Structure 1
Amino acid sequence: MPEVTLPLPVARIALNPVFRLLMNHRLPFTVQRALMNWGSVAQRSPRGTHVDRIRLGGRPAERVTLGPVSDAATVLYLHGGGYTVGSPATHRALAAFLARETGCAVQVLDYRLAPEHPYPAALDDAEAAFLELVASGFEPERIAVSGDSAGGGLSLALAERLRDRHAFVPAALGLIAPWGDPNEVPSRSRDLVINRPWSRQCAAAYLGGGDGNDSGYAPLLDDLHGLPPTYVQADVDEMLHDQCTRLVAKLRAAGVDTRFTETEGLWHVSQLQASLIEPAAAITRELGEFLRQALRPAQTRSTG
């Protein structure tokens, strides 16, 4: 249970003005980043959380642990934020909850952000981080990859690149409302967290001068065969819900072992508020349990 439990209606009322301020396309991304880092202190980590600041794949990262951890398995976490905002600090509490549930260190990568570093910078950084974990002694099938929103899309793109370039299959993909196709213009104007002008601004910033049909930018467009077991979580009322349902259908059609949880009454990446809201804590525990089971010793999977 969270240390403080807020009723869902109260939480929604309290969070609405916060998200309207943070996800404001009229604010420079540098201001949005500062505000998000400052506000992340309200997302309390479980007692006993330990954070080591490290380098991973040539980028800053945080290694988040809670109690004794396995030295044979780990989670690479890719934070959300439209590829333009977010950091290990904004996702530290979520990483700590996952570390507690998996019994593994969760490595949160501070990948380069757009518009200063458009696609494929974030994907290149994620690939370099995974390859460094392998070089340090982790077997690819003992590394789970997880992420939320843009970080969920980045996790999917990373799995596709690892399959195609390195014949590596991670232990699992844990995707929280993944943004698998930034080309898509949402039909709704906003949900509690995300609004259309902000998301379109982020999509354009991440694309830069690139090709929107590049599957690294929009991994939902790629062939999904040969990907690892995948768990997708999304709320029915969020803007990305329809995209998530299409991703799940495409994964299943490709023969990927896929689990899908659709919550009702929560919001986009409510897992970030797991320390405050019991339903958010519950689905975070489900994700952690999925990753823990996937990281148990198993026979090496092939990409065939």
Structure 2
Amino acid sequence: MRDINLPLPVARAVLNPIFRVTLNKGLSFPMQRLLLDVSSRAQPVPEGSVVRTLRLGGRPAERITGGDFSSRGAVLYLHGGGYVVGSLATHRSLAARLARDTGCPVYVLDYRLAPEYPFPAALDDAEAAFLELVSSAGYRPDQITVSGDSAGGGLSLALAQRLIARHGHTPAALGLIAPWGDPNLIPDRERDLVINKPWSRACAAAYLGAGDATDPGYAPLTGELRGLPPTYVQVDVSELLHGQCVDLVAALRAAGVQVRFTESAGLWHVAQLQAALVAPAAAALRELAEFLREAIQPADLRDLG
């Protein structure tokens, strides 16, 4: 199946009822997961993609490569879904495009989901996956970029903070698509095209469980930002998380972190998932891939010396 380019109004009209039905507080989380996995079949992987299943950090994962790849680096991708939904299937197309455009293997982790496994299960899984890439896959920490969307973006940020604090490991870069940096913050508006306030509050409560809402692992926007690697944040101005992303970028810059920030207009929350269907979303994803690829390049150059 070849990529197509739906006009943005048409794409919005198609997606709106899908997300209203699927990301619905009235549906059980298992049903939401099933519906999202089914709908993800409309998002193909690029031709030439190779998907290999494996275990990473004790969890199921996929290693995706695309076409020719020569980089010694890798991308660890943490999917979004409010910490309660999302899977290898829902994000396979996005990850395969990152693999093709970075020239790096992309490892997508099937971390444990709430409410069955509340915080810090997802963070523990992400930590274990990164450490295994270092200990067993032969990557240095500065050869691994960490990327994620929405809840996976917040998880990527929390992972980097934990790796630095506990292990002295700093990833090469962070690529964050509309990161959910603080689940404690309540959106001002009721919904955007994709997510809505009642659903997001239910996700936040499910993920927190009996945990401490002030723990920076749960709300990494409130945690230590100094020392983080170069970070790229992408968000659309129409999103409920737009304000959080603006605050995160300001805080990162105040902490001395190198930040690239792109605000699109006319897309929607994590439109990059629909890169196979919408050309502007594909362009945004290519920009993210370029950033991640360039972040790994200095490590490759040092190897030559």
TM > 0.5 between the two? yes
> Secondary structure at 1:111's aligned position in 2?
coil
Identical aligned residues as a percent: 68
Give the Cα–Cα distance (whole angstroms) in 2 for the partners of residues 282 and 271 of structure 1: 9
Note the 1:138-149 alignment, pairs <5 A.
138-149=139-150
Give the Cα–Cα distance (whole angstroms) in 1 for the partners of residues 69 and 130 of structure 2: 19
The alpha carbon displacement at 1:45 in A equals 1.2
Paired residues of 1:70 and 1:105 also in contact (CA < 8 A): no
Say if 1:299 and 1:160 are closer, same or farther in 2 by CA, change over 3 A.
farther
Paired residues of 1:111 and 1:122 also in contact (CA < 8 A): yes
TM-score, reference length from structure 2: 0.97
Q: What residue identity is the alignment partner of 2:88?
A: P
The alpha carbon displacement at 1:49 in A equals 1.1
The alpha carbon displacement at 1:67 in A equals 1.4
| 1:169-195 Cα distance to aligned partner (Å, 9 max, x none) | 000000000000000111110000000
Q: What residue identity is the alignment partner of 2:158?
A: A
Paired residues of 2:101 and 2:289 also in contact (CA < 8 A): yes
Structure 2 equivalent of residue 41 of structure 1: 41
Paired residues of 1:232 and 1:244 also in contact (CA < 8 A): yes
Structure 2 equivalent of residue 172 of structure 1: 173
| 1:125-152 Cα distance to aligned partner (Å, 9 max, x none) | 0000000000021000000000000000
Structure 1 equivalent of residue 217 of structure 2: 216
Note the 1:86-101 alignment, pairs <5 A.
86-101=86-101
| 1:184-230 Cα distance to aligned partner (Å, 9 max, x none) | 11111000000000000000000000010000000000120000000
Structure 2 equivalent of residue 248 of structure 1: 249
Structure 2: which 5+ runs fail to align?
none
The answer to whether the aligner puts 1:82 opposite 2:97 as a matched pair is no
> Secondary structure at 2:105's aligned position in 1?
strand
The alpha carbon displacement at 1:50 in A equals 1.0
Note the 1:46-125 alignment, pairs <5 A.
46-70=46-70, 72-125=72-125
Paired residues of 2:71 and 2:103 also in contact (CA < 8 A): no
The answer to whether the aligner puts 1:286 opposite 2:294 as a matched pair is no
Q: What residue identity is the alignment partner of 1:156?
A: L
Structure 2 equivalent of residue 130 of structure 1: 130
The alpha carbon displacement at 1:299 in A equals 9.0
| 1:97-141 Cα distance to aligned partner (Å, 9 max, x none) | 100110001000000000000000000000000000000210000
Give the Cα–Cα distance (whole angstroms) in 1 for the partners of residues 224 and 121 of structure 2: 22
Give the Cα–Cα distance (whole angstroms) in 1 for the partners of residues 14 and 179 of structure 2: 25
Structure 1 equivalent of residue 19 of structure 2: 19
| 1:244-290 Cα distance to aligned partner (Å, 9 max, x none) | 00000000000000000000000000000000100000000000000
Structure 2 equivalent of residue 188 of structure 1: 189
Give the Cα–Cα distance (whole angstroms) in 2 for the partners of residues 3 and 124 of structure 1: 36
Q: What residue identity is the alignment partner of 2:163?
A: L
> Secondary structure at 2:299's aligned position in 1?
coil
The alpha carbon displacement at 1:71 in A equals 5.9
Paired residues of 1:50 and 1:64 also in contact (CA < 8 A): yes
Give the Cα–Cα distance (whole angstroms) in 2 for the partners of residues 299 and 50 of structure 1: 23
Structure 1 equivalent of residue 161 of structure 2: 160
> Secondary structure at 1:295's aligned position in 2?
helix
Paired residues of 1:74 and 1:144 also in contact (CA < 8 A): yes
Give the Cα–Cα distance (whole angstroms) in 1 for the partners of residues 244 and 160 of structure 2: 18
Give the Cα–Cα distance (whole angstroms) in 2 for the partners of residues 115 and 122 of structure 1: 11
> Secondary structure at 1:18's aligned position in 2?
helix
Q: What residue identity is the alignment partner of 1:139?
A: R
More displaced stretch, 117-126 vs 62-71: 62-71
Structure 1 equivalent of residue 238 of structure 2: 237
> Secondary structure at 2:60's aligned position in 1?
strand
The alpha carbon displacement at 1:298 in A equals 3.2
Give the Cα–Cα distance (whole angstroms) in 2 for the partners of residues 233 and 72 of structure 1: 25
Paired residues of 2:237 and 2:264 also in contact (CA < 8 A): yes
Paired residues of 1:182 and 1:203 also in contact (CA < 8 A): yes
Give the Cα–Cα distance (whole angstroms) in 2 for the partners of residues 223 and 65 of structure 1: 33
Paired residues of 2:150 and 2:178 also in contact (CA < 8 A): yes
Give the Cα–Cα distance (whole angstroms) in 1 for the partners of residues 226 and 13 of structure 2: 42
Paired residues of 2:69 and 2:103 also in contact (CA < 8 A): yes
Structure 1 equivalent of residue 205 of structure 2: 204
> Secondary structure at 1:70's aligned position in 2?
coil
Give the Cα–Cα distance (whole angstroms) in 2 for the partners of residues 204 and 130 of structure 1: 26
- Alignment: residue pair count: 300
Q: What residue identity is the alignment partner of 1:283?
A: A
More displaced stretch, 103-112 vs 67-76: 67-76
